[in-house]
Amino acid sequence: MQQFIESFQSIIDSQLFAQQVIAWQHRHGRNDLPWQNTADPYHVLVSELMLQQTQVTTVIPYYQRWLERFPTLEQLATADTDEVMALWQGLGYYSRARNLHRAAQQICRDYAGQIPKAANELREISGIGAYTAGAIRAFAYDLDGVIVDGNVKRLFSRFFAITGDLTSASQQRLLWRLAEHYTPPTDNRRYAQGLLDLGATVCTPRQPRCTECPLQQHCQALQQGRVDELPERKLKTQLPIRSGYFLWHASATGILLEQRPNDGIWPLLWCLPEVDQQQLMNANDWSEHGRFNHTFSHYKLQAQIVIQSAAGQTSIEPCQGRQQRIIAWHQLSSFGLPAPIAKYLSGHLPKPPPST
């Protein structure tokens, strides 16, 4: 492996590589994002968890609202879970919200409210993996934080002409080893931002702007005419389809919702009560209220919402062991709801009584 690594490192000197990235970022990179105006470690933590698998333009308003409501780590640590989840609603990947909440509590408990600098200590905190630890070190403390995300993988794959499945364990080790080697000892905040900016704005997945890239002189994919081939794309597999059944039990004043369990889809969010499919098929006192479809990363959900007939003899019971409550229509915004459920509810709000 070491000899293999050295063959890549011979393409360009690490100091020159860093200098080119830093100089380009200073002149052409993104320098006006909200989280770039501060080195506050808490702000960096919030932005980095929000940015996982989410575009910058989507994150900005969520980031701003979050800091308006929870301006300090301590305020987040003592916040109610429902309020945390409600504020995250629509951003998706809700485990990030739970991890951020737990991280705040853990940092207040174990580190006196101070986010640590050491990578090994950062990795002990809930929701902080190798990338996030590196980002905090770089952006909050301007230390040698190693980062490898989708943008960096694509940039390195083309620059070093790395083939194969970049998600495999061997290629992951290679990418991280290269990232460690090329991370400079100083000016890490601008270097890390430069790598991300190059991947997001120049070395893009489609139609990369190679003539604007500061690394073009040494880019192996450009020299070999393989920019469009790299990184090698995995064949997309068709997502399986799963059915889901949810109960509609509402009145003019409110609707019955349940809090999802801590595992599975939509953890800890409030949702229409889920109904067991077999029990539903054995009943004859229900009708369809509506449907919705939603695509997750690993399957497609085809959901049917059912309503129990008033004259029915068989009771349709939601799945057991979940907290349920009637929530007033005007209070829905205070609860974290899955995006498709929130959308469905918004289309079925009771009409206000006519004015007299």
The pLDDT tens digits of the residues spanning 98-155 come to 999 999 999 999 999 999 999 999 999 999 999 999 999 999 999 999 999 999 999 9
Residue 207 CA to residue 100 CA, distance in Å, equals: 35
For residue 316, give the amino acid letter.
Answer: I
Q: What residues are annotated to the active site?
A: 48
Contact by Cβ (8 Å): 33, 56: yes
Please tell me what DSSP assigns to residue 189: H
pLDDT tens across the length of the chain (356 residues): 565 667 777 889 999 999 999 999 999 999 999 999 889 999 999 999 999 989 999 999 999 999 999 999 999 999 999 999 999 999 989 999 999 999 999 999 999 999 999 999 999 999 999 999 999 999 999 999 999 999 999 999 999 999 999 999 999 999 999 999 999 999 999 999 999 999 999 999 999 999 999 999 999 999 999 999 999 988 778 899 999 999 999 999 999 999 998 888 898 899 999 998 888 888 878 899 999 999 998 999 999 999 987 654 446 666 667 889 999 999 999 999 999 999 999 999 987 766 55
CA distances in angstroms from 320 to 13, 39, 159, 168, 268, listed in the order given: 61, 46, 54, 40, 15
Half-sphere exposure of 217 (CA within 13 A, CB side): 7
241-346 to CATH, choices 3.30.70.940, 3.30.1280.10, 1.10.10.10, 3.90.79.10 = 3.90.79.10
Yes or no: is domain 2-229 CATH 1.10.340.30? yes
Enumerate the domain spans of the chain.
Answer: 2-229, 241-346
Which residues, in sequence order, are CB contacts of 113 under 8 Å at separation 6+? 73, 74, 107
Residue 318 CA to residue 271 CA, distance in Å, equals: 12
